[in-house]
Amino acid sequence: MTWILENWERFWEVTAVHLRLSVVPVLAGFALAIPLGWWASRSPKARAVLFPLANVLFTIPSIALIVITPVLIGVRILDEINVIVPLVVYTVALMVRSVADALSAVPGHVTAAATAMGYRPLRRFLTVDFPLALPVTIAGLRVATVSNISMVSVGALVGLGGYGQLFTEGYQTDHTEKVLAGLIGTVVLAVLADGVLLLLGRVLTPWARVGR
Amino acid sequence: MFGWLFDPANWSGTTGIPVRLLEHALYTFATLLIAAAIAIPLGAFVGHTGKGGFLIVGLSNALRALPTTAVLILVVLWAGLGDFPVYVALVLLAVPPIMAGTYAGVRAVEPVIVDAARGVGMRESGVLLQVEIPNALPLIYGGFRGAALQVVATATIAAYTGAGGLGRLVFDGLALQEFGQMLAGAVLVALLAVLVDLAFAGLQRLTVSPGLRPVGTGGKR
């Protein structure tokens, strides 16, 4: 712990990088997973393609994907995009199922009522289906966020930033405190992010608490 | 990548692809055995008695946030290089999903079935071993297969501290700037992950009672 206090600026710097490298992919992956999940919730054919594909993508090890990405998209190995792209892939793979399950679970009579009241499809989706699907969606988002925060560190093995840098530097200089500092940072960040999403879910779905 | 992967020179000797594959498979299976020996009894016991459930769930979630790279490096710094740190890091990774799956599986067995087992005079050990665990097997396998995928993928990182396995190809390739070797390592790990999952899917079919299969693939009680 003393290392963190003595090297506060450095710690803060890697924290910021770590946060950026884990939050950007969650947002991008979530944005991609909404239309794909919506598609999967409406079409059994889309489900038959998307779900097995998501499973296969999930079996690719993160270090492997981080190493392959620069070859596939033609950037240098030390580009941050090499961590962001794999994490977007994992987030989409995880969230497609969450979003699809959540949308499928919206009661049919509710959507029928909205349609009968004259809601057009897009407005119905944004103001009825999607809000009702939020609790399950946010549960998936919490899993994706925590696993992303833990996975960003792998990028340091090929020289990228974040807490993982403290791991590799600590290893090379036999500096246990530095590794511990990164470990504590990762776990605290994961717990905080999880808590923020939990709160966000509560604030966004006040109806879920009514009658309890 | 295919040039490196299909070069006969890379398929022989003590650093050849078959040796790396075997090392990787050994890390995976030994880790899963140790993790299962720890996690299944714990999860089953807590699931059976119903005591300390929140502790199991909380502990699983906390362990999940633990970065395996950091655990591996810490144990290397404390205990020195070798296979021991690899096993510590991988077992810590594999225990939470197996424990959570076992706990959830045993909890989810219908109380009617458990009551019936007690009603016909089974001892508590019989209720757990002959009724609850067999009924919980689908969820136990769910957790176990999830753990297996994670362990195959993460065993790659072992090579960072000089241990063996397919990660050697990735890290040696990185050090030599040989993308073919790195890609070959990455692809072989993904292939091994798929093979391991298929093997456990087969084992699951063989060992789970046909009465527990989802409707449509063999009827349900």
The rounded percent of chain A whose pLDDT value lies above 90 is 47
Q: What number is the average pLDDT over the span A57-85? A: 83
Give yes or no for residue B60 having a pLDDT over 50: yes
Give yes or no for residue B17 having a pLDDT over 50: yes
Q: What number is the average pLDDT over the span B156-179? A: 87
Q: What number is the average pLDDT over the span B4-29? A: 86
Q: What is the CATH number that goes with domain A2-204? A: 1.10.3720.10
Q: What number is the average pLDDT over the span B94-110? A: 90
Cβ within 8 Å, pair B70-A183: yes
Instruction: Give dist(CA B197, CA B184) in Å, integer.
Output: 20
Nearest to A61 among B171, B190, B197 (CB): B190
Top mean pLDDT of A23-32, A160-169, B58-67 is at A23-32
To test the contact with chain A by mutation, choose from B28, B59, B72, B73 the residue with the greatest count of A C-beta atoms within 10 A, namely B73
Q: Which residue of A has its CA nearest to B166?
A: A64
Query: With bands split at pLDDT 50, 70 and 90, how would you rate the model's confidence at B35?
Result: very high
Q: Which residue of B has its CA nearest to A190?
A: B65
User: What letter does residue A118 receive in the DSSP assignment?
Assistant: T
pLDDT at B214: 62
Nearest to B70 among A67, A146, A182 (CB): A182
Q: What number is the average pLDDT over the span A88-99? A: 92
pLDDT at B219: 39
What mean pLDDT value characterizes chain B?
87
How close A124 gets to chain B, by Cα (Å)? Answer: 34
Q: Is A102 on the interface with B (CB under 8 A)?
A: no
**Which tens digit of pLDDT belongs to each residue from A94-115?**
899 899 989 988 888 999 999 9
Q: What number is the average pLDDT over the span B63-86? A: 89
pLDDT at B1: 64
All residues at 6 or more sequence positions from B58 whose CB lies less than 8 Å from its CB, including other chains: none
pLDDT at B31: 96
Q: What is the CA radius of gyration of chain A?
A: 20
To test the contact with chain B by mutation, choose from A72, A171, A174, A194 the residue with the greatest count of B C-beta atoms within 10 A, namely A171
Instruction: Give dist(CA A86, CA A77) in Å, integer.
Output: 13
On chain A, the residues whose CB falls within 8 A of the CB of B182 are 67-68
Query: With bands split at pLDDT 50, 70 and 90, how would you rate the model's confidence at A6?
Result: confident
Q: What number is the average pLDDT over the span B97-117? A: 90
Give yes or no for residue B216 having a pLDDT over 70: no
User: Considering only A21-30, A162-171, B210-219, which range has the smallest mean pLDDT?
Assistant: B210-219
Instruction: Give dist(CA A153, CA B25) in Å, integer.
Output: 24
Q: What number is the average pLDDT over the span A5-26? A: 91
What is the ipTM metric for this complex? 0.80
pLDDT at B174: 82
Give yes or no for residue A39 having a pLDDT over 60: yes
How close B71 gets to chain A, by Cα (Å)? Answer: 8
pLDDT at A70: 84
Is-contact A186 B70, C-beta < 8 A? yes
pLDDT at B217: 43
Domain segments of chain A as ranges: 2-204
Q: H-helix or E-strand containing B194?
A: helix B179-207
Cβ within 8 Å, pair A60-B185: no
Cβ within 8 Å, pair B153-A164: no
Instruction: Give dist(CA B56, CA B62) in Å, integer.
Output: 10
Q: Is A22 on the interface with B (CB under 8 A)?
A: no
Q: What number is the average pLDDT over the span B33-62? A: 87
Q: Is A186 on the interface with B (CB under 8 A)?
A: yes
Give yes or no for residue A212 having a pLDDT over 60: no
Q: Which residue of B has its CA nearest to A56?
A: B194
**Burial degree of A166 (CB within 10 A; 0-12, 13-18, 19+):** buried
Nearest to A68 among B70, B167, B183 (CB): B183
Cβ within 8 Å, pair B167-A63: yes
On chain B, the residues whose CB falls within 8 A of the CB of A163 are 67, 70
- Secondary structure in 3-state letters for B37-80: HHHHHHHHHHHHHCCCHHHHHHHHHHHHCCCHHHHHHHHHHHHC
Q: Domain B15-209: what homologous superfamily?
A: MetI-like (1.10.3720.10)
On chain B, the residues whose CB falls within 8 A of the CB of A97 are none
Q: What number is the average pLDDT over the span B190-215? A: 85
> Where is pLDDT greater, at A20 or B215?
A20
Give yes or no for residue A122 having a pLDDT over 60: yes
